[in-house]
Structure 1
Amino acid sequence: MSELSFMEKLLDGAEVEWKALEEVCDFKNGFAFKSSLFKESGLPIVRITNVDGKNINLSDVKYFDPSDYRENTASYKVCKGDILIAMSGATTGKIGFYSHENPAYLNQRVGKFLPKLETLNNRYLYHYLLSKVEKIYVIAGGGAQPNLSSSALMEKIKIPVPFPDNPAKSLEIQAEIVRILDTFTELTAELTAELSLRKKQYNHYRDQLLSFEEGEVEWKKLDEVSKKISSGGTPRTGISEYYDGSIPWLRTQEIDFREIWDTGVKITEAGLKNSSAKWIPENCVIVAMYGATVGKVGINKISMATNQACANIDLDDRVVNYRYVFHYLTSEYEYIKSLGTGSQTNINAQIVKSLKVPIPYANDPEKSLAEQARIVTILDKFDTLTTSISEGLPREIELRQKQYEYYRDLLLSFPKSEKRGSLI
């Protein structure tokens, strides 16, 4: 019997009760750690930049030693198995599962769910919340810098509990759904680990090809080699006529060192007209200016609009190859991010315009473009291996992710009625 047939039989006629998150969970916001408390070692502090979907990423963390602080910080501790959520910035609404053996601490812009029902499987809750990321983002107000209210989250998101009057049966169903979905996530994790090794190889060759000796190139500001550098805007949230249209509208959380062929949110002509959002042509190099993704770079492969947190660089193709600029800015990610200011380390359009790129043979445009094209050809081969959604590992990961999302939505789309019926 196939997995699907088994689940159809298991769920056939299942009674479902929809419960608000506040009925099945408590919620805890993190702690406002002062920078003076940061240490070189200790327990890591989980920030919104570490909550990027699925397992919590503990790269680029600050540390904290609770023995240095008088207040009891035990309630802010995160342990293996905890479900976390980013509450503001570009990663708002993203869910993370803390799978590390050693504990950590939450900062104030990350929250954790505390299931309070013995009849709720923690991984079942995790998978369900993953399916609601876009809805949570809307609850947070959308826009360039959304902020999520814990009370709105706990009231508006509802969890389907199968067979609420039969705890044993309910947990059996939840466990089987978790087993199937975890199988897909484990396969994706293995592919992602291999992809990480490929990316290190790409970074090595990129840094070699884009390192120049004094006098080999002329450094020019992006403003000097562009037709136009602009930002976008956000249609007013809460006005239905502005959203669910046909115009792709890019947010910074969708910028991740790759080509952009579609967007998670679409706006209408009315939304475009009544905001600062505007069409940009294809093949702009786009730099994220706000929040958790600040400094990340992408290329839009279709015409689209963006929010105000995107710097959209329409390059002059008589001077520079847009993919050459993309690779160079990608190599400068850490530097660009370091230019940010404020609590969210934002940069602005003026900073982007002032960024310099190395132009080989600047006095001979034809020779310059030929050299840029040579470098691009080499780097694109590595880039295809690490970011292309049509070839290699990225394609396999994308297919696995779509397969996971298909089964997740199928298995968790309980009808809002007393009886379920067939999954087909």
Structure 2
Amino acid sequence: MSDLGFLQKLLEGAEVEWMPLGTVTAYEQPTKYLVQSKNYDDRFSTPVLTAGKTFVLGYTDETNGIYEASKSPTIIFDDFTTANKWVDFDFKAKSSAMKMITSSDDEKYHIKYIYHWLNTIPSDLVEGDHKRQWISNYSGKTIPIPCPEEPEKSLAIQGEIVRILDSFTELTAELTAELELRKKQYNHYRDQLLTFNEDEAEWKPMDEIGEFIRGKRFTKADYRDEGISAIHYGEIYTHYGVFAHSTLSKVRSEMADSLRFAEKNDVIMAGVSETVEDVGKAVAWLGEEKVAIHDDSYAFRHVMNPKFIAYAMQTNAFHDQKGQFVSRGKIKRLLIDGMKKVKLPVPFPNDQEKSLAEQARIVAILDKFDTLTTSLSEGLPREIELRQQQYEYYRDLLLSFPKPAEVVEA
């Protein structure tokens, strides 16, 4: 790669000083940028951000307290998880645990260089540690600053590293933007497909379609490499998609008599979550074996196409109904007696053969969209993953400055 040879020439003879992140950065609390309304709509213009995997939670019409990252780009940093994102567009913040990180001196330290370096630091979070990570941990970690006594040359070197790495991230960003567009198209098309004329479908309460079966408790201490296949409620919204044939987790075999199981074609629902959006999220279980389910989840047993039901439970129509039956404490909990009243469309209810054929037709169409937008073996997510791996390889190569033995991390 010719850029690497050029960079080696640029670095020739340059001294590197390892400086604390707390010295080269400044941070701001998000208090005055926090979104007030949860009335998100894609038609609104200002994104609401989290530093986590979701990143853009939605869009708000609020006009006050907007962080103008289009004028001064920033790193958003989750103070509890250490997840972070580069942001160069205006936004509102969702969480008070998020910090906005900027350069302490733009004439010495390139904020995008700091961002790239930040993501080479391995996570050393300890489970159950609720400290604010930036002040207690990350601000003491060190970053290599080339020839800090010559700020102009230092910025040139930092800027060249940023230019090379950005050439990789730009393609990833283009693919990610295309993926987001495809997801919006998919969501719109899914809702359209699952909207029926009166003579085509009947909207029936879920307790008329099937029955809810609550799982039984197991804990992390019960997990094993081999044992009974199990689905924990949290995995439904962090790991699984619309359907699954195998499980992420297994629990102790000797627990069999104390567990409750979902069967093939059941739809498994998360009973609790930290957000209204995630509670009630569903995965159609298509595996041949029975699978243990946690007591904060439910198996919905029915005679319809399981993937049709799982797709129907992603629609805006379903979420609007579901929202009436979710407790609104810190932990959101599904009120299952209310959920029994939520209605799902049953196409051609008086002709089961025709109904199942129509369900299968809709599922086949939605499966194609789902593959394009979620599959890690094909489609856009796979392409994005490959580009990310390429970026990480060159990032680690470009930022592999030797660290003197006397440098001690926080």
Q: Report TM bin, short chain.
A: 0.5 to 0.7
Q: Deviations over 1:253-305 (max 9, x none)?
A: 73585678999xx99989xx9xxx999999975647214963584759999x9
Which residue does 2:366 correspond to in 1? 379
| CA–CA distance in structure 2, aligned partners of residues 45 and 330 of structure 1 | 24
Q: Which SS does the other structure have where 1:402 is aligned?
A: helix
Change (3 A) 1:128 1:35: closer
Question: Aligned in 2, Cα 1:198/1:12: closer, same or farther, shift over 3 Å?
Answer: same
Give 2:202's aligned amino acid: E
Provide the residue aligned with 2:227 in structure 1.
none
Distance in 2 (CA, whole Å) between partners of 1:203 and 1:170 is: 47
8 Å CA contact retained: 2:264, 2:286: yes
1:120 is aligned to: 109
1:372 positional shift: 2.7
**Cα distance per residue 1:149-204 (max 9 Å; x no partner):** 44224345443334455545543332222112211221122223333343343233
Tell me the TM-score normalised to structure 2 length.
0.67
Asked whether the equivalents of residues 82 and 133 of structure 2 are also in contact (C-alpha less than 8 Å), the reply is no
Partner of 1:189, secondary structure, is: helix
Counterpart amino acid of residue 81 in structure 1: P
Letter paired with 2:377: S
After alignment, is 392-401 or 250-259 more displaced?
250-259
- Residue 186 in 1 paired to residue 170 in 2? yes
Unaligned runs of 5+ in 2: 225-229
Aligned-pair Cα RMSD in Å: 5.3
| Residues 220, 99 of structure 1: alpha-carbon distance in 2 compared, 3 angstrom cutoff | same
Per the alignment, in what secondary structure is the counterpart of residue 135 of structure 1?
coil
Higher Cα Rg: structure 1 or 2? 2
Query: CA, structure 1 residues 36+320, in 2 after alignment: closer, same or farther (shift >3 Å)?
Result: closer
Relative to 1, partners in 2 of residues 1:63 and 1:163: Cα closer, same or farther, differing over 3 Å? same
The question of whether the paired residues in 1 share the 8 Å contact of 2:215 and 2:261 is answered with no
Partner of 1:129: 118
2:73 pairs, out of 81, 90, 95, with: 81
Q: Does 2:97 align with 1:109?
A: yes
Question: Is the 1:297–1:329 contact (alpha carbons within 8 Å) kept by the matching residues of 2?
Answer: yes
TM-score normalised by structure 1 residue count: 0.65
The corresponding residue for 1:31 is 31
The Cα of 1:228 is off from its aligned counterpart by 5.1
1:390 to 377, 385, 401: 377
- Give the alignment partner of residue 182 of structure 2, picking from 198, 216, 225: 198
- Which ranges in structure 1 are unaligned for 5 or more consecutive residues? 67-73, 236-241, 420-424
Q: 1:319 to 1:394 in 2, by over 3 A?
A: same
Q: Is 1:218 the counterpart of 2:232 in the alignment?
A: no
- Shift of residue 347, structure 1, vs aligned partner: 3.5
For residue 70 of structure 1, what is the aligned residue in structure 2?
none
Amino acid at match of 2:367: D
What corresponds to 1:330 in structure 2? Answer: 314
From 84, 94, 104, give the equivalent of 1:95.
84
3-state SS of paired residue (1:372):
helix
The answer to whether 1:174 aligns with 2:158 is yes
168 and 388 in structure 1: CA distance in 2 versus 1, 3 angstrom threshold? same
Identical aligned residues as a percent: 34
